Amino acid sequence: MNRIRIAAAALGFAALAFLGARFVFGAIVVGNPAGAPEDLETQASPAARDLVHRALDGLDLSKLLDVHAHVAGSELDGSGCELDARMRSFLHPWRRLQYEIYLRAGGVEHVDRGAAEFADRLRSVVRGRVGILALDHRHGEDGSLDRDGTPAYVPNDFVLRLAREHPESFVAVVSVHPYRKDALAELERCAAAGARIVKWIPNSMGIDPADARCDPFYGRMRDLGMTLLAHTGEENALAAGRDDLGNPQRLRRALDAGVRVVFAHCATLGESEDLDDPARRKVANFDLFLRIVSDPRWRALAYGDLSAVYFRNRDPRVVRTLLERTDLHPRLLQGTDWPLPAIRILTSTRRLEQEGLLTSDECRALREVFTYDPWLFDLVLKRTLRGPHGERFPDAVFLERPEIPIRGP
Identify the CA nearest to 227 among candidates 128, 326, 131.
131
pLDDT tens column, 144-184 = 999 988 989 999 999 999 999 999 999 999 999 999 999 99
Predicted local confidence at residue 26, as pLDDT: 61
User: At 248, is the pLDDT very low, low, confident or very high (cuts 50, 70, 90)?
Assistant: very high
Size of the chain in residues: 409
Compute the average pLDDT of residues 222-250: 89
Work out the pLDDT band at 101, boundaries 50, 70, 90: confident
Mean of the pLDDT values across residues 266-273?
Answer: 96
More confidently predicted of 20 and 386:
386
Across the range 316-337, mean pLDDT stands at 97
- pLDDT at position 15: 44
Helix or strand or coil: residue 198? Answer: strand
Residue 394 preceded by cis peptide, ω within 30: no
- What is the spatial distance between Cα 169 and Cα 278, in angstroms, rounded to a whole number? 47
Query: Could you tell me which residues come within 8 angstroms of residue 177 by beta carbon, excluding any fewer than 6 positions away?
Result: 136, 137, 138, 139, 183, 200, 205, 206, 207
pTM of the model: 0.92
pLDDT given for residue 32 in this prediction: 79
Residues 6+ apart with CB under 8 A from 54: 383, 384
> Pick from 155, 199, 159, 153: which is nearest to 175 by CA?
199
What pLDDT is stored for residue 240 in this prediction? Answer: 55
**Crossing angle for the helix pair 374-384 and 360-372, to the nearest 10 degrees:** 160
pLDDT above 90 for 237: no
**Mean local confidence (pLDDT), 255-272:** 97
pLDDT attached to residue 12: 46
Instruction: Delineate the domains of the chain, giving CATH numbers in brackets.
Output: 2-398 (3.20.20.140)
Give the mean model confidence (pLDDT) for residues 62-73. Answer: 96
Tens-place pLDDT, residues 28-55? 788 878 889 999 999 999 999 999 999 9
- DSSP H or E stretch at residue 41: helix 40-43
Indicate if the pLDDT at residue 5 is higher than 80: no
pLDDT for 11 beyond 50:
no
More confident residue, 71 or 88: 71
pLDDT band per the 50, 70, 90 thresholds, residue 372: very high
Choice among 41-50, 102-111, 324-333 with the minimum mean pLDDT: 102-111
Q: What is the pLDDT of residues 187-207, one digit of tens each?
A: 999 999 999 999 999 999 999
* Mean pLDDT score across all residues of the chain: 91
Q: Count Cβ atoms below 10 Å from residue 397 Cβ, excluding itself.
A: 20
Where does the pLDDT of residue 16 fall: very low under 50, low under 70, confident under 90, or very high at 90 and above?
A: very low
Looking at residue 92, what is its pLDDT? 74
C-alpha separations of 145 from 81, 116, 175, 206, 390 in Å: 15, 27, 14, 11, 50
DSSP state of 30: I
